[in-house]
Amino acid sequence: MRGSGTFTESLFSIKKLDDFVPATHPLRAIRAMVNDALSQLEDLFAGMYEDASKGGRPSIAPQKLLRAMLLQVLYSVRSERLLMEQVQYNLLFRWFIGLSMEDSVWVPTVFSKNRERLIEHDAVVAFFNEVLAQAERRDWLSQEHFSVDGTLIQAWASHKSFMPKDRSDSGGDGDGGDGGDFRGQPRSNDTHASKTDPDSRLYRKGKTASELRFIGHTLMENRNGLIVNAMVTQADGYAEREAAKAMIADARQANPEAPITLGADKGYDAAEFVAELQRLEVTPHVAQNTSGRRSAVPDEVAQTHGYDLSMKCRKRIEQGFGWTKTIGQLRQVMVRGLKKVDQVFVLNVTAYNLVRMRSLGQLRLRAAG
């Protein structure tokens, strides 16, 4: 018998949002970890807002705000406006954020304004640390073997905004006065700066074209490929090694007595970098660069079995960069300023860790079964 093509719906419904989400949906495990981490940040959230006794209009709850920001990364939503549109009709998004079916969706500009408060108080970094604390409690983190690398992040600024530093902002067209016609003109970071994002730098690496960029750095533990430290710096030829020194120094401070190794590619094979690792009592498992030069990595280190293992494990760090640039928001960030870019980078790395931890949890369940 042919079914009816008419649309009917009940006046009342007794279903909850949770009833619409499959029991095996990946977001269930991720939401549990997110809620666990957020519960540890109550003191931080309380200090971000005025006391309720002083009155005023309630803001967006920071827990809901962070969950919404995570959804934007996990589902490759390109803008806050599109995210708010999808939250309006997507029951899965409402369930994850913590909105009921009757709750109104926030205005995109209000969402963006409230997000600035999280950045000012480093709430994203605190959230990243709490997620890592969960991984540590489950014994998923190595305290001894690490890998480090960096990736280029295209700034939210164009070549047209890269103007001479001594040029007045007044006069000419709205983009700096020369209409973007810089052909044949020498330009460098010493004499020019972006009017759109002054923190970005003109930079190229390998065979890539020169673009206004930042560099994102991550420190990965080698046991399960989780990112244990992340930061963004201005782009220059020394940034990767300087960031690596700072991150491995933090790892050494957290584990003063543990034997630590650090894997890295040939770009880190510099005498001053290897010397700093040796000063920190970190074994330099850095790929030897012997192209017309002598490697700074001792041959007795490069001939060990542990060195070979580090060379294999360190390549896994590229998976995080690939995920954050294809699924996440890091191919070209849509915020300006070093601090904001750093927070977006850490948020994307946190999302990557959550996805990976969810997969690790599933593997452990299967092994236990």
pLDDT for the residue 369: 62
Q: Using alpha carbons, select from 152, 262, 167 the residue that is nearest to residue 201.
A: 152
pLDDT for the residue 343: 95
Q: How confident is the model at residue 170 (pLDDT cuts 50, 70, 90)?
A: very low
- Opening angle at CA 38, ends 33 and 43, nearest 5: 155
Instruction: Assign 3-state DSSP to the chain and report helix, strand, coil percentages, each to 5.
Output: 45, 15, 40
Average pLDDT over residues 169-187: 57
Q: Are 144 and 255 in contact (CB under 8 A)?
A: yes
Average pLDDT over residues 360-365: 84
Average pLDDT over residues 27-51: 92
Average pLDDT over residues 243-249: 97
pLDDT for the residue 283: 96
pTM, full prediction: 0.91
Every domain of the chain with CATH number 3.30.420.10 lies at 142-169+186-346
**pLDDT tens, position by position, 45-59:** 988 887 766 666 778
Average pLDDT over residues 172-196: 70
**pLDDT tens, position by position, 316-350:** 999 999 999 999 999 999 999 999 999 999 999 99
Is the pLDDT at 287 greater than 60? The verdict is yes
pLDDT for the residue 67: 97
Q: Which residue has the higher pLDDT, 356 or 208?
A: 356
Q: How confident is the model at residue 126 (pLDDT cuts 50, 70, 90)?
A: very high
Class of domain 142-169+186-346: alpha beta
With tokens 């108080």, the residue in question is 121
Mean pLDDT (the chain, rounded): 90
pLDDT for the residue 68: 96
User: Tokens representing 198?
Assistant: 């002054």
Q: Name residue 231's beta-bridge partners.
A: 217
